């Protein structure tokens, strides 16, 4: 659950520049998510890095998410959509059942989001 919480917060950060800045300025906005102290620190590091310069997929959050148990499918899909959108990649294949490819986008048809998948794009 906690790893999904980190991915959920990062999805919001990617989708909303204002939230990214808010997290960097006032970490208490993370209170609604069930984050461990380590996860909270990773998200804060990411928010601070995002404010100073965007590094798609190479930041602390993706490093944290790239190992361990897989994300739940809905969370992975939402994160994949946000990462693709923020990178200027097509997002069509992230819509619909089974992550049906058709938009020429990377296949996010699994619940593990690895750094290599992002950094190679």
3-state SS assignment for residue 17: helix
Report yes or no: 57 and 24 within 8 Å, Cβ to Cβ. Answer: no
The answer, yes or no, to whether residue 97 has pLDDT greater than 50, is: no
73-93, pLDDT tens digit by residue? 888 888 888 888 887 776 765
Encoded tokens for 14: 């990617």
Question: Could you tell me how many residues make up the chain?
Answer: 121
Note the pLDDT of residue 65.
86
3-state SS assignment for residue 118: helix
2-56, pLDDT tens digit by residue? 789 999 999 999 888 799 899 999 999 999 998 999 999 999 998 887 555 555 6
Encoded tokens for 6: 């980190």
Q: Where residue 107 falls among pLDDT bands split at 50, 70, 90?
A: very low
Integer Cα distance of 121 and 109 in angstroms: 16
Note the pLDDT of residue 59.
79
């Amino acid at each position: 659950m906690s790893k999904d919480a980190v991915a959920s917060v990062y999805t919001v950060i990617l989708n909303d520049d204002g939230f990214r800045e808010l997290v960097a300025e006032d970490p208490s906005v993370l209170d609604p998510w069930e984050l461990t102290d380590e996860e909270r620190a990773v998200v804060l590091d990411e928010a601070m890095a995002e404010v100073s310069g965007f590094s798609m997929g190479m930041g602390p959050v993706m490093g944290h998410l790239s190992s361990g148990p897989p994300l739940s499918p809905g969370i992975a899909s939402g994160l994949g959509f946000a990462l693709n959108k923020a990178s200027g990649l097509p997002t069509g294949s992230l819509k619909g059942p089974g992550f049906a490819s058709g938009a020429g986008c990377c296949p996010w048809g699994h619940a593990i989001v690895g750094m290599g998948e992002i950094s190679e794009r």
